[in-house]
């Protein structure tokens, strides 16, 4: 008998975004003026038609447990959406509603990977993927992406062995803003088919996409429907982070297993949110475009400003609402009161403490030498933040 924590928990970290959130709150309590660019949620309210559908659900007493895989009208609406947007037709038992996209990811991982299995994660990556793989009992295998953040298919192929069960991709991507092109997705799908592995495709930012870039789901390639597990949700597209609703689509046995995980942990997704989500998918979509176009204006501003700081390298932000930029030119330099700053984490601490701007260090995404900012804030806030970042970066001594 032992009162120590489990060995599985030793492999799991607290989300670094949550940790930074705590530090920002502490500085604000002390009266500091902090501009926060670390939060990954849209700053818009949930659209009125969706809120009203939620209120109606409460008034009509849809306030109880639902079926474990979600209410039928919502799964039907998801099937229609997937047919229209992804060009893939699912049956009712191939779709499940989940408690946020996170529960969809965790359920999918538990469904296909466990003790002795490996899951390949191209890095930089969303902070939670490696920890979720570890929580499922499997081993995360991190594989670097190319310098422009496209997939390094050769490196992925070399990482595949007899233990590999899946590759996780995210497009449009958090943290890099990359949207994978058809060719690289086709390359990955050929690899998945020839090496008989799953692809977990996180498409939660699919509607937040800029310029000529187009979202393509890897599930649409021939032979991929049954080996792709598509994860999506309402948090980003419809600004519904607090409603905690996502969904997962894939082969019936995989979805059945993901639902078992959900049923034994959270029972069902929230009933009120599910009725609101039917309205989100079936009601007018103009708010989606309004938010997207506002994000695009901010993307243009942030990208231009960052590129205007000599030494910063910022690739084209193709989707999502993050800028992920290279600050290696600012490391190894002396900053007043901080001595020589050698890494992105320390540089972020300096910019937070001395210039009052909170950003996520690239190391949190397995990309040391980079910084991630979220532009899900008003233009006014972004202007203030970018000017502080520029002043802070330029303030080194040599
Ligand atoms: C890439 C990615 N996947 C999944 C999630 C989780 O979304 P949800 O709020 O639906 O759980 C996030 C949230 O930041 C994300 O950035």
271 lies in the same domain as 294: no
| One domain, residues 103 and 39 | no
Within a domain: residue 54?
no
Burial 349-381 (b: 16+ CB within 10 A, else e): bbbbebbbbbbbbbbbbbbebbbbbbbbbeeeb
- Give yes or no: residues 269 and 295 share one domain: no
Task: Enter the pTM of the model.
Answer: 0.96
Looking at the domain assignment, is residue 183 inside a domain? Answer: yes
| Contact yes or no for 347/331 (Cβ under 8 A) | yes
Same domain, 197 and 337: no
Q: Which of 232, 267, 282 is the last residue of a domain?
A: 282
Pocket mutation for ligand 1, best pick of 101, 109, 149, 266 (most atoms within 8 Å of C-beta): 101
Indicate whether 220 and 134 sit together in one domain. yes
Cα(3) to centroid of ligand 1, in Å?
Answer: 33
**What integer pLDDT is reported at residue 126 of this predicted model?**
96
CA 341 to CA 41: how far, in whole Å?
30
Residue 389 lies in a domain: yes
| Structural domain containing residue 192 | 63-282
Query: Ligand 1 mean position to 86 CA, how many Å?
Result: 19
Residue at 241 is within a domain: yes
Shared-domain flag, residues 153 and 210: yes
pLDDT value at residue 113: 98
Phi-psi region of 211 (alpha: psi -120 to 50; beta: other; left: phi over 0): left
Query: Is residue 154 within 8 Å of 188, Cβ to Cβ?
Result: no
Handedness of CA 200, 204, 207, 209 (dihedral sign): negative
| Cα of 269 from ligand 1 centre, angstroms | 16
Span from the CA of 344 to the centroid of ligand 1 (angstroms): 23
Asked whether residue 137 is assigned to any structural domain, the reply reads yes
Residue 11 is predicted with a pLDDT of 78
Q: Are residues 259 and 299 in the same domain?
A: no
Choosing from 214, 247, 282, the residue where a domain stops is: 282
Q: Are residues 153 and 293 in the same domain?
A: no
Per-residue confidence (pLDDT) for residue 7, from 0 to 100: 84
335 within a domain of the structure (yes/no):
yes
55, part of any domain: no
- Which of 102, 105, 364 to probe ligand 1 with, by most ligand atoms within 8 A of CB? 102
Compute the distance from residue 201 Cα to the ligand 1 centre, in Å: 12
Instruction: Please indicate, yes or no, whether residues 239 and 142 belong to a single structural domain of this protein.
Output: yes
Number of folded domains that form the chain: 2
Q: What angle do CA 296, 301, 306 make, to 5 degrees?
A: 125
Same domain as 273, residue 305? no
**pLDDT one digit per residue (tens) for the chain, 398 residues:** 788 888 888 878 777 677 777 888 888 999 999 999 988 899 999 999 999 999 999 999 999 999 999 999 999 999 999 999 999 999 999 999 999 999 999 999 999 999 999 999 999 999 999 999 999 999 999 999 999 999 999 999 999 999 999 999 999 999 999 999 999 999 999 999 999 999 999 999 999 999 999 999 999 999 999 999 999 999 999 999 999 999 999 999 999 999 999 999 999 999 999 999 999 999 999 999 999 999 999 999 999 999 999 999 999 999 999 999 999 999 999 999 999 999 999 999 999 999 999 999 999 999 999 999 999 999 999 999 999 999 999 998 86
Is 130 touching ligand 1 by the criterion CB < 6 Å? no
Q: Which residue CA neighbors atom 1 of ligand 1 most closely?
A: 174
- CATH number at 310 reads 3.90.1150.10
Is 91 contained in some domain?
A: yes
Of 251, 282, 313, the residue at which a domain comes to its end is 282
Q: 242 and 358: one domain? A: no
Task: Encode burial over 237-248: b for 16+ CB neighbours within 10 A, e otherwise.
Answer: bbbbbebbbbbb
Same domain, 222 and 274: yes
What integer pLDDT is reported at residue 397 of this predicted model? 83
Residue 220 sits in a domain whose CATH number is 3.40.640.10
């Amino acid at each position: 008998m032992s009162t120590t924590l489990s060995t599985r928990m030793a492999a799991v970290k607290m989300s670094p975004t949550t940790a930074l959130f705590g530090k920002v709150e502490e500085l604000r309590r002390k009266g500091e003026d902090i501009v926060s660019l670390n939060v990954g949620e849209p700053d818009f309210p949930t659209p009125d038609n969706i809120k009203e559908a939620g209120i109606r659900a409460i008034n009509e007493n849809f306030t109880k447990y639902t079926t474990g895989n979600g209410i039928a009208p919502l799964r039907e609406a998801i099937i229609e959406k997937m047919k229209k947007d992804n060009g893939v037709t699912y049956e009712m038992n191939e779709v499940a509603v989940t408690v946020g996209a996170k529960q969809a990811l965790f359920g999918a991982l538990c469904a296909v990977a466990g003790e002795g299995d490996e899951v390949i994660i191209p890095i930089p990556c969303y902070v939670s993927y490696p920890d979720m793989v570890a929580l499922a009992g499997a081993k995360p295998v991190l594989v670097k992406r190319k310098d422009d953040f496209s997939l390094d298919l050769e490196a992925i192929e070399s990482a595949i062995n007899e233990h590999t069960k899946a590759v996780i991709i995210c497009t449009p991507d958090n943290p890099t803003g990359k949207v994978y092109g058809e060719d690289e997705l086709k390359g990955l799908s050929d690899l998945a088919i020839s090496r008989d592995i799953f692809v977990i495709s996180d498409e939660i930012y699919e509607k937040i996409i800029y310029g000529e870039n187009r979202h393509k789901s890897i599930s649409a390639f021939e032979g991929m429907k049954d080996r792709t597990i598509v994860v999506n949700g309402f948090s980003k597209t419809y600004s519904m982070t607090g409603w905690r609703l996502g969904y997962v689509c894939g082969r019936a046995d995989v979805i059945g297993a993901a639902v078992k995980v959900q049923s034994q942990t959270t029972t069902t997704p929230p009933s009120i949110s599910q009725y609101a989500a039917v309205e989100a998918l079936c009601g007018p979509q103009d708010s989606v475009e309004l938010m997207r176009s506002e994000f695009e204006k901010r993307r243009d501003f942030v990208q231009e400003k960052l590129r205007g700081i000599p030494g910063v390298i910022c690739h084209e932000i193709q989707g999502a609402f993050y800028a992920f930029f290279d600050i290696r030119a600012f490391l190894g330099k002396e900053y007043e009161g901080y001595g020589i700053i050698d890494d992105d984490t320390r540089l972020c601490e300096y910019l937070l403490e001395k210039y009052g701007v909170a950003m996520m260090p690239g190391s949190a995404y397995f990309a040391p030498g980079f910084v991630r900012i979220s532009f899900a804030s008003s233009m006014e806030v972004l202007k203030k933040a970018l000017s502080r970042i520029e002043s802070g970066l330029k303030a080194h001594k040599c």
